[in-house]
Amino acid sequence: MLNKIESNAILDRLPVHLQQYIKPQNYEDYTPVNHAVWRYVMRKNVDYLSKVAHESYLEGLKQTGISINHIPNMYGMNRILKEIGWAAVAVDGFIPPAAFMEFQAYNVLVIASDIRQLEHIEYTPAPDIIHEGAGHAPIIANPEYAEYLRRFGEIGCKAISSSRDYEIYEAIRHLSIIKEAEDTSQEQIQAAEEKVDRLQNEACELSEMAQIRNLHWWTVEYGLIGTPENPKIYGAGLLSSIGESAWCMTDKVRKIPYSIDACTQEFDITKPQPQLYVTPDFAHLSSVLEEFANKMALRRGGLEGVQKLIDSKNLGTIEMSTGLQISGNFSKVIAHDGKPIYIQTSGKTALSHREKELVGHSVKNHPDGFGSPIGSLKGINLAIEDMSPRDLRAYDIYEGEKIEFEFEGGIKVKGEIITGTRNLQGKIILISLKACSVTYGDEILFKPEWGNYDMAIGKEIISAFAGPADNLSFDLITHKTSSTTIKSKKTPEREELASLYASVRNIREGKDAKFSLEAAFDLTRKHHPNDWLLSVEIYELVVGKEGKLTKDVLKHLQEVKSRRPDISHLIEGGINLIDAQLVP
């Protein structure tokens, strides 16, 4: 898959489970109308954003090689992005939040390669190349912001999700697709919007992923920088929206100093945002991110972390104080005095240390789950992991010895020690026993006839996070979407309109054209009376020249404005931009 993308060392590091989301850009599929949409948005944005965007934006456009006149080619972008330590890949619309963030952790921009229809030129809820390429890419040329983005991905992909999160993701993806599709009825859109509203407004505790997704939205997507009284734009959603970039600068949008409180502020992708958060600088973004990370199970572990993994019903990992990592679907925890004293997974489980699977402890060795006591032995002040070889011998924790462990909290393990596994520091991280039984009061947790028993060693759980410790331990090539983006239909009418747009573009670029400007305008007026963008492009080429065509184009545009008041401001904006360039 990756061999279809311009060589970039960053992409070579991507794990296989992320490559499943990548698709070819298929640059030849972009129509002349698509390129005109890109050009209109970019010309309007660059003109306006030069006044209100963070200074890194315009400089970033140059550094990332993004053209105002043509949709960026991913191959060309990757040649340039590697100079600043990044890469870009094309995907089909929204991908799961955890995967999106993991791409960021690898310094890879995820770019939805489709482009919005002309009818949605101001804003689309669907991610598209205008949003990703013109919004995200330029600002990463700022090293401090780029590091924030990478770090955000690194932390965000470890956030624990809930089953509700995935349901919301699927609902938002579906809504974004049908809202951008041309033949969707208003009833279908309304039903999809109501489902998203219902899911987002359900009273429930926000998962870690939901909270960090909120932080991502209010910074990376819709962030302002500076002061509430004098903010500048840096969020990609604002940088790529000619409507909302102007709207957000008005007093109608409340400006709030950015803090960790933003993690609980939900958002609606279908409407302009009623409030936005302003960070004083990019360094403050990183401070808030670290503050949030300190609240995550990733750094806190403990009973709360295990419970989050159980509630998520997804693959996750706990890390013991010895560095031993247990990855699987956690199904049970026994607690005592607010601490976990026994954990249990169901189904395929793997054991790792420092993100590398332990030999002999793959999912093939633990296909039906894994359970182990946690904590210290009862009546012994020294934890097993802290025992020296002499201590271990004194307590009969030795190969070939029959032993009975009783842990604080009441878990009992009885069996014959086969061997122990140590980490690089010499601490025991795992003890294997045969003829072993594990009990908790009257509850039997493991029987001798089930085979050998592997007991994890660790006085506490120091971390709990989403996903496996070692990505190679599990088959993660499982992504299936319930819907795919819907392409515009090809019709004779659209093919003719595309050829007219192509002719005007070729004339502007000094190339041979099928139609002259006069012929292109005449056919547009007769066969495509509601199209406005092509006439704006023709006006750009004839303005300043006294002649009938200039007057006819302006007259036609006024007529379109009268018939279509909803887009009159777009026509006016295009004309004003062209006229302003005539002023010396």
Quick one: three-class SS letters along 444-457?
Answer: EEECHHHCCEEEEC
pLDDT at residue 504 greater than cutoff 90:
yes
pLDDT at residue 133 greater than cutoff 80:
no
Which pLDDT score is estimated for 488?
63
Partners of residue 373 on adjacent β-strands: 342
| C-alpha–C-alpha distance, residues 10 and 82, integer Å | 7
Average pLDDT over every residue of 243-253: 90
pLDDT at residue 167 greater than cutoff 80:
no
pTM of the model: 0.88
Strand 339-353 relative to strand 324-336, pairing: antiparallel
CATH classification code of 2-291 = 1.10.800.10
Q: H or E element: which one contains 257?
A: strand 254-257
pLDDT at residue 202 greater than cutoff 90:
no
**N- to C-terminal Cα distance for the chain?**
50
| C-alpha–C-alpha distance, residues 28 and 65, integer Å | 19
Taking the mean position of all CA atoms in its chain, how far away is CA 462?
A: 26
Which pLDDT score is estimated for 547?
83
Which pLDDT score is estimated for 26?
87
SS3 110: strand
- Average pLDDT taken over every residue of the chain: 90
SS3 242: coil
| C-alpha–C-alpha distance, residues 342 and 453, integer Å | 14
| C-alpha–C-alpha distance, residues 438 and 453, integer Å | 9
pLDDT at residue 3 greater than cutoff 50:
no
Average pLDDT over every residue of 480-508: 80
Q: Model confidence at 194, in pLDDT bands (50, 70, 90)?
A: confident
Q: DSSP readout, 262-330?
A: GGG----TTS--SEEEEESSHHHHHHHHHHHHTTSHHHH-HHHHHHHHHHHTS-EEEEETTSEEEEEEE
Q: H or E element: which one contains 438?
A: strand 428-440
| C-alpha–C-alpha distance, residues 577 and 403, integer Å | 83
For the chain, the domains span 2-291, 328-464, 492-582
Q: What is the length of the chain?
A: 584
Residue 10 backbone dihedrals phi, psi, to 5 degrees: -60, -40
| C-alpha–C-alpha distance, residues 22 and 112, integer Å | 10
pLDDT at residue 384 greater than cutoff 80:
yes
Average pLDDT over every residue of 82-88: 88
SS3 517: helix
Residue 373 backbone dihedrals phi, psi, to 5 degrees: -75, 155
Buried b (16+ CB within 10 A) or exposed e, 51-68: ebbbebbeebbebbbbee
pLDDT greater at residue 51 or residue 168: 51
The two tokens of residue 144 are 């401090």
Q: Minimal CA–CA distance to 383: which of 352, 405, 400, 412? A: 405
State which amino acid sits at residue 111.
I
Which pLDDT score is estimated for 2?
43
How far, CA to CA in Å, does 320 sit from each of 58, 354, 378? 47, 11, 19
Q: Minimal CA–CA distance to 407: which of 369, 370, 453, 458? A: 458
Q: Minimal CA–CA distance to 177: which of 441, 409, 488? A: 488
Which pLDDT score is estimated for 480?
59
Task: Provide the percentage of residues in the chain whose pLDDT is more than 70.
Answer: 95
Partners of residue 137 on adjacent β-strands: none
Average pLDDT over every residue of 86-112: 90
Q: Count CA atoms within 13 Å of residue 435 on its CB side.
A: 9
State which amino acid sits at residue 41.
V
| C-alpha–C-alpha distance, residues 231 and 225, integer Å | 5
Which pLDDT score is estimated for 99?
92
Residue 496 backbone dihedrals phi, psi, to 5 degrees: -65, -45
pLDDT at residue 1 greater than cutoff 50:
no
Q: Model confidence at 309, in pLDDT bands (50, 70, 90)?
A: very high
Strand 411-422 relative to strand 87-91, pairing: unpaired
Q: Minimal CA–CA distance to 214: which of 173, 273, 170? A: 273
pLDDT at residue 92 greater than cutoff 90:
no
Which pLDDT score is estimated for 117?
85
| C-alpha–C-alpha distance, residues 305 and 468, integer Å | 15
Is the separation of the CB atoms in 512 and 540 below 8 Å?
A: no
